[in-house]
Amino acid sequence: AQTVTQSQPEMSVQEAETVTLSCTYDTSESDYYLFWYKQPPSRQMILVIRQEAYKQQNATENRFSVNFQKAAKSFSLKISDSQLGDAAMYFCAYQGGSEKLVFGKGMKLTVNP
């Protein structure tokens, strides 16, 4: 079975600074997708960024970028120019041959003004 591990339960960053959230996963599949989701107190999961495993190029979405290391099964999220609105729970997720998403335990990000 696939597993996703987020080893840092909490992190904090100063506004306008850069922060990196780490995630590792385990799978025997060769074709899969990886995601970072944001969950504010409203509970709604919001997709931040998505990476296809077959693509070597790291995905970017404005201030958000990933460092995807397939051999190491590592998938970190970098948030640049952090904003107060970035404060939330962040979840790393895996999707392989089955349609279900497998999530990590999440990490609480605090942004200090």
Partner 1 sequence: GAGVSQTPSNKVTEKGKYVELRCDPISGHTALYWYRQSLGQGPEFLIYFQGTGAADDSGLPNDRFFAVRPEGSVSTLKIQRTERGDSAVYLCASSFLTGTEQFFGPGTRLTVL
Residue 55 binds partner 1, judged by CB under 8 A: no
Q: For partner 1, which residue of 11, 20, 24, 45 counts as binding (CB under 8 A)?
A: 45
Smaller CB distance to partner 1: residue 70 or 89? 89
Residue 25 binds partner 1, judged by CB under 8 A: no
Three state DSSP letters for the chain: CCEEECCCCEEEEECCCCEEECCEEECCCCCCEEEEEEECCCCCCEEEEEEECCCCCCCEECCEEEEEECCCCEEEEEECCCCHHHCEEEEEEEECCCCCCEECCCEEEEEEC
Residue 42 binds partner 1, judged by CB under 8 A: yes
Residues forming the site for partner 1 (CB under 8 A): 4, 42-47, 50, 91, 93, 98-106
